[in-house]
Structure 1
Amino acid sequence: MFDKNLFPVLKNNSDLIYLDSASTTLKPQNVIDAEVEFLIKNGANPHTDAFENAIIATEMIEKTRKTIANFIGVTNANEIVLTSGTTMSINQIAYGLKHLLQPGDEILITDLEHTANLLPWMVVAKETGAIIKNLILDSLTMGVDPYQLDKVITDKTKIVAFAHATNTIGYLNDVQLIAEKIKQINAKIIIAIDAAQSIAHCPINLQTWDIDFLAFSAHKIYGPFGVGVLWGKMAWLQQMPPLVYGGGMSKNITDDYQTYQLADVPFKFEAGTQNPPAIQGFGEAITWMSKIGMEQIHQYETELKQYAVAQIKKLGLEAQIDFYNLNNLAPILTFNVKGWNGQDVANYLDAKHHIAVRMGEHCARLTGKVYAQNSLRASFGIYTTKADIDILLKALTKQDEFLDIYFNEVT
């Protein structure tokens, strides 16, 4: 979709076939420039009006907050909390809701969740006596089955948390429909969505989703590392306690050390020094993606997946390789080569063909209950081409070369 030279990593590594975008997206030059610009032209810590650069830094952060809000269909930018990433955002949600849970209350998740959307709920459940239960997955898509929610939701269900798209199978859950079904059963159930794997691949409009929380990271959408988003309905954010305490998130502290007053939302959740260079880069990434158009990106990546599936069938690769998600249009191929250790395959692809794929559990520790404990994953971005896919699939046909990297010199 784009000239690879727009991405310095690809420009400086011209033979690299980067198929690990589900782990992190590469950064275009304009995003890197925005981050560096702050460091070399401003450099100030925000949240003071004592000097000009600090004022500019504060204004930039609030402008970025509004840019993010517009991008996901949020009308009140103060509902956008800037965090260090999806993991921090989900931990804040889980611990912020902890006080609402009683022994026997239920939290519903899936076995395909990233550990960041699994462990926080497990820990909170253990600390409160709440119970973790599974949402039912469709046997074909491995997505949340909206028509079996009434089989698992009870009058004890308090929270439902799941990924818009998982980082392994990638099926795009119909959040609008699932949320409608949940609220029809019990309007008081809290719905939290992990959008880390979908935010860069399709439009998200929270005006059409009756959910309570959303989390994602900048580095998943061609932005910098170290910054992310927690969106929540204002009513929830106002009553939730912060997970982290420190500078910038209180209005006053009494001199007897007994009481304090927190800052308003979102600032009460943004303790400590923020990351202005990354936030400026994040704003540039969102602006850039908006100009391209999320519908256009979704269409391009859908065509890539359709092409990959067609080529896999043309080459007859399903006889040699177990593919787990050819029946959806997610920009991910998850697979295992029959009879081969995935680490050997990944090392071969890298050393012999300069193809970067991910191998392992993908921080989703319970996938073995659904399809496989470990797998190889090739994930696409807007810089991925059909030629990249051809190189990957051709390399996978040469199983007689998989061990050459250990016994022969790689050329």
Structure 2
Amino acid sequence: MAGVVKMPSQNDFARYRDDFPVLARPMNGQKLAYMDTASSAQKPRAVIDALREALDRDYANIHRGLYALSQTTTQKFEATRRKVADFIGASSENEIVFTRNTTEAINLVAQSWGRTNLKAGDEIIISGMEHHANIVPWQLLHDQIGIVLKIIPVLPNGTLDMDAFDGLLSDRTRFVSIVHVSNALGTINPVETIIRKAKAYNADILVLVDGSQSVTHMPVNVLGLGCDFFAFTGHKLYGPTGVGVLYGRAALLNAMPPYQGGGDMIETVSFAQTTYKPAPARFEAGTPAIAEVIALGAAIDYVAAIGMDNIAAHEGMLLASLVEQLETVPGLTFYGTGPDKAGIVSFTADWGHPSDIAMILDQCGVAVRTGHHCCMPLMQGFGVEGTVRASLGLYSNVDDIISLMNGVTKAHKLLGA
């Protein structure tokens, strides 16, 4: 019937899994169950092919050459900028800056906007569950100009203490930088509420959202969120490494000074003075990751064709099953048990160290992550050195959960005796 959209079935997702060549290879003689997507997602053939083609067929430097190869590559590069803008709901492709990763995007904002607009005593609010990439850049700013860093506490269930957030807002608050989905816990933070409260307190407070995990697991619309900046990285979104994205409102980006200097970000250069292009070019000094940006465009095409709502539903079903089954294993403690979660499960066992559990899982063909997950303050708050983290992707399936459960059960027998 016209107007009816058919939702992908589990058979469809089984077919999507076949798009990822690495998942067909064994690990330690076992069928691979890749459950470390939160660290870095595997790549579909469409991305691999786009990367290869960008190097095989059309490679040339961009923005400078008048010859056909350069023009073709430039068009493909800039087409990705438009795809990114559409994917996250930005007003214009001119609000999309290509960086190396989320880390560089946050550092860009801290050093360009922060060094220009903040002074000693100004306050920045972050949360207790931030990745180091959203802690250290602000600590550097503290050391450089004396800004004050204030922390939203994390409750025992791995959610933010929103009452405490209200109390942190003050006349000195200038900026809030918050993770959308915790990479260590899977907690989906109420960023819309945080942004609304911050803007209601003072409309001049700016908000950056670290979307490294959210763009992988759910639809994102930056205009709907109301954020001023949004950052994510390509390799978690089934794209290549070495490319990330900073979204910033056009008026903010064009008022910010360059973060780095070099070729392709200038209008004119003399020994007396240099003038700069408008955003986004002013923040993209030097030759960028050309093939990687083009391949990121292929990754966005791939997930957009499946539908982020569909991916979220698929992962949500698997997450519920994974948690339900892990809860049957004696001695596990779970971190991040709030009601709003993406496809990440983090746990410890009273009968075994996370590293020992992960080594046994490795022998069972199961790839998980252990440690502090670049969230040392969060782990310290929970009183643990680290956790075992299993994270889902669009290619995850019930067989992965069975393999994980078999491995955890084996670890319990070996370590818990």
Question: What CA distance in whole angstroms lies between the structure 1 residues aligned with 2:77 and 2:163?
Answer: 42
Question: What CA distance in whole angstroms lies between the structure 1 residues aligned with 2:406 and 2:381?
Answer: 28
Is 1:169 aligned with 2:188? no
Correspondent of 2:333 among 318, 322, 326: 322
TM-score of the superposed pair, with normalisation by structure 1: 0.93
Alignment coverage as a number of residue pairs: 397
Correspondent of 2:353 among 316, 336, 341: 341
Is 1:359 aligned with 2:376? no
Is 1:388 aligned with 2:414? no
Question: What's the RMSD between the two structures over aligned residues?
Answer: 1.6
Give 2:117's aligned residue.
100
Give 1:350's aligned residue.
362
Is 1:260 aligned with 2:274? yes
Question: What CA distance in whole angstroms lies between the structure 2 residues aligned with 1:39 and 1:265?
Answer: 27
Residues 308 and 155 from structure 1, CA distance in 2 versus in 1: closer, same or farther, beyond 3 angstroms? same
- CA contact 2:128–2:153 (8 Å) conserved in 1: no
When structure 1 is superposed on structure 2, of 19-28 and 299-308 the one drifting more is: 299-308
When structure 1 is superposed on structure 2, of 159-168 and 336-345 the one drifting more is: 336-345
Structure 1: any 5+ residue segments left out of the alignment? 405-411
User: Secondary structure at 1:207's aligned position in 2?
Assistant: helix
Residues 105 and 341 from structure 1, CA distance in 2 versus in 1: closer, same or farther, beyond 3 angstroms? same
Is 1:221 aligned with 2:233? no
Question: What CA distance in whole angstroms lies between the structure 2 residues aligned with 1:205 and 1:378?
Answer: 27
Give 2:5's aligned residue.
none
- CA contact 1:253–1:259 (8 Å) conserved in 2: yes
Give 2:24's aligned residue.
11
Residue 61 of structure 1: how far off its partner (Å): 1.3
Q: Kindly provide the CA deviation profile for residues 234-292 of structure 1, in whole angstroms up to 9, marking residues without a partner as x.
A: 111112122211111111112xx221001111000000111121111100110111111
Residue 117 of structure 1: how far off its partner (Å): 0.7
TM-score of the superposed pair, with normalisation by structure 2: 0.92
- CA contact 2:60–2:73 (8 Å) conserved in 1: yes
Is 1:134 aligned with 2:151? yes
What residue identity is the alignment partner of 1:333? V
Is 1:159 aligned with 2:138? no
- CA contact 1:164–1:193 (8 Å) conserved in 2: yes
Question: What CA distance in whole angstroms lies between the structure 2 residues aligned with 1:308 and 1:244?
Answer: 45
Structure 2: any 5+ residue segments left out of the alignment? 1-12
- CA contact 1:175–1:209 (8 Å) conserved in 2: yes
What residue identity is the alignment partner of 2:60? A
Give 1:191's aligned residue.
207
User: Secondary structure at 2:222's aligned position in 1?
Assistant: coil
In the TM superposition, 1:69-108 aligns within 5 A as 69-96=85-112, 97-108=114-125
Residues 204 and 113 from structure 1, CA distance in 2 versus in 1: closer, same or farther, beyond 3 angstroms? same
Question: What CA distance in whole angstroms lies between the structure 2 residues aligned with 1:74 and 1:183?
Answer: 19
What residue identity is the alignment partner of 1:240? M
Question: What CA distance in whole angstroms lies between the structure 1 residues aligned with 2:234 and 2:195?
Answer: 25
User: Secondary structure at 1:82's aligned position in 2?
Assistant: strand
When structure 1 is superposed on structure 2, of 204-213 and 214-223 the one drifting more is: 204-213
